[in-house]
A = this chain, B = another copy of it.
Amino acid sequence: MIYVTRRAEFSASHYYHNPDLSPEENRRLFGKCNNPHGHGHNYTLEVTVAGEVDPTTGMVMDLKELKKLLEAEVLEQMDHKFLNEEVAVFSTKIPTTENIAVEIWKMLEPKLRLGKLHRIRLYETPDLYVEYLGD
């Protein structure tokens, strides 16, 4: 078993707000991230696929294919977007780094033909990242 990781970047904006809470509670919980105009990040995404090395190719999977998959399934939906208003799932779910990572897992996991999705790591900034390994 070997683990292959591919990194990609996207730029998006978001804000944090829970409509079930009072404005004061939202401000206390989310601080500057509660600004409804949104603010943005260069997200760095690392997708890790686990699998056996295919002796014909010496590879777990074709990384050109993985790159296309990332572009079609993730970047196309999220890059240069305002996540709260332009990505459907985040109209009812707060687009925290945690929730974005879980959604990226759900976008990619059913589409992988070779190998098995092992881990989504998502950096919001170089100093803050989240990892999700599935249920």
Listed in ascending order, the chain A residues whose CB lies under 8 Å from chain B are: 1-9, 11-14, 16, 18, 20-21, 29-33, 35, 37-42, 48, 53, 56-60, 62-64, 79-82, 85-86, 93-99, 101-102, 125-133
Shortest CB-to-CB span from A14 to chain B, Å, is: 8
- Chain B residues with CB under 8 Å of A7's CB are 126-128
Q: Is the CB of A132 within 8 A of B2?
A: yes
Beyond A4-B129, A7-B128, 5 additional contacts (C-beta under 8 Å) are: A6-B127, A37-B38, A39-B40, A39-B80, A58-B95
Whether A96 lies near B56 (C-beta < 8 A) is no
Contact B130 A5 (CB under 8 A): yes
For A97, what are the chain B residues with a Cβ–Cβ distance below 8 Å? 4
Known interface pairs A4-B98, A131-B3, A131-B5; A39-B53 also in contact (CB < 8 Å) = no
Q: Are A38 and B38 in contact (CB under 8 A)?
A: yes
Cα separation A130 to B93 with both chains bound (whole Å): 33
Q: How many Å lie between the Cα of A44 and that of B35 in the bound state?
A: 21
Q: Which residues of chain B are within 8 angstroms of A18 by Cβ–Cβ distance? A: 56-58
Chain B hits for A133, CB < 8 A: 1, 3
